[in-house]
Chains A and B, each alone.
Chain A
């Protein structure tokens, strides 16, 4: 009854917005259902998710000692 009606093309088109949680709950649920059934779209979504995780981790970088020192000195003066 609630067979997935959304096409692979539509899923691909909206995949990023889906991952960004920017779609309404109906569309989002449709895509989720599609991904549970369609191997091709699922692999694509997995790939984008992994890539995105790598991008998210790029927000971590060892702070130079000079900066740590500067901040310590600053806080002491507060």
Chain B
């Protein structure tokens, strides 16, 4: 990046800039809202987070080097905005995540539940299962995760944060992020499994409970 090919920064108050800003915000609205909703879980809170994000972004617009980078920048502001809301709430709620009891079958794996190595003629039940999952199934499963796990998994799996970035944003040790990501995935897969069973998605693979408790092959 040399100085010569850097475009002049538009004035944040100019009409043209406001138009571009609005256009970009409008274009990204479904993702901004969807992400806020996955993080906050509650639609009213999600709307507030998006509104505050847009207002914060406008205030900080002069910190953006190029309007072409607005997408990533807006999402970072959204994450920060959410996290500061969330911290305030967590202080009041006495960290539910830390008192969450450890589940005994920590190694639950959807793949192991579904995969049938000896039934090659059957095709791939695990693929069918994933394909049959509805958007709402996945949303429900995420929304029902305990707060601390949900936020970490959304940042890592939906938003593509590295563990280190998530650790910085949430102000949590790297090891905590690592274990929460892993635990969140287990909980998520368990939830999808039981939702899938309720919906009759996995009837071909419902094993008698005695054979599946350990999860090891």
Contacts and interface: CB of A to CB of B under 8 A. Distances in A.
Contact of B111 (A22, A44, A54, A63): A44
Given A16-B182, A55-B138, A70 B158 contact: no
Interface residues of B, number: 51
Contact of B21 (A58, A60, A66, A75): A75
Interface in B158-188: 158-160, 162-163, 178, 181-182, 185, 188
A54 B37 CA distance: 16
Interface in B99-155: 110-111, 114-115, 117, 124, 126-127, 130, 133, 135, 138-139, 142, 153-154
A1 interface: no
Given A20-B156, A54-B133, A67 B162 contact: no
Interface residues of A, number: 33
Nearest to A19: B157
B81 interface: no
B55 interface: yes
Given A70-B51, A75-B18, A22 B162 contact: yes
Interface stretch (B3-11, B23-31, B84-92, B199-207): B23-31
B22 A55 contact: no
Contacts of A40: 117
Contacts of A57: 135, 138
Contacts of A3: none
Nearest to A49: B130
Given A20-B156, A47-B126, A75-B25, A59 B50 contact: no
A58 B38 contact: yes
19 contacts: A22-B178, A47-B115, A47-B130, A51-B130, A54-B133, A55-B142, A58-B135, A59-B158, A60-B31, A61-B37, A61-B139, A63-B30, A64-B43, A67-B33, A67-B51, A70-B51, A71-B25, A75-B25, A78-B18
Given A43-B115, A71-B25, 12 more contacts: A20-B163, A47-B126, A50-B127, A51-B189, A55-B188, A58-B138, A58-B158, A64-B43, A70-B47, A71-B29, A71-B50, A78-B58
Interface of A: 16-17, 20-22, 40, 43-44, 47-48, 50-52, 54-64, 66-68, 70-72, 74-75, 78
